[in-house]
Homo-oligomer: A and B are copies of this chain.
Amino acid sequence: MKKNSIEQFKEERDKLNQIVMKYSGKNIKRFYSLDMAVYNEGKLSKKTKELIGLVSSLVLRCEDCVKYHLNQCFDEGVTNDELEEALAIGLIIGGSIVIPEFRNAFSYWDELKEIK
């Protein structure tokens, strides 16, 4: 059941991206490709970049963006303690208004840890 929550997120995301691509012209496609490129391994590690993306998404309170970067962080081997430290920064920067997304982040992470 928990597995579905994560797979469901990815499937829904893919389905919607296909609809976007059906309507998109060159500019939107270029933005999508740029959005992939900035997280590539470089002078900063992919792991550091995903943590940056995660906390930025938290302070901007974007639930889908947080989930996306949690998946990436998980794949990059981020530990529970590293995650906690990163999200704590987001909580202090963003304040109590981010608590709902902050809670969802740990809940989603908890599911990721149980499944994989």
A interface list, Cβ under 8 A from B: 13, 16-17, 19-20, 22-25, 27-28, 30-31, 34-35, 37-39, 42-44, 48-49, 51-53, 55-57, 59-65, 79-100, 102-104, 106-107, 109-110
Q: Give 5 closest A-B pairs by Cβ, nearest first.
A: A95-B95, A16-B103, A64-B100, A43-B81, A94-B95
Q: Which chain B residues border A106 with CB–CB below 8 Å?
A: 16, 19-20, 22-23
Give A21's nearest chain B residue, CB to CB.
Answer: B106
Give A30's nearest chain B residue, CB to CB.
Answer: B34
Give A61's nearest chain B residue, CB to CB.
Answer: B62
Out of B23, B44, B83, B103, name the residue touching A80 (CB < 8 Å).
B23
Bound Cα distance from A82 to B49, whole angstroms? 10
Q: Which chain B residues border A55 with CB–CB below 8 Å?
A: 52, 55-56
Give A15's nearest chain B residue, CB to CB.
Answer: B107
The verdict on A85 contacting B44 (CB below 8 Å), with A93-B97, A97-B65, A100-B65 known, is yes
Bound Cα distance from A42 to B83, whole angstroms? 11
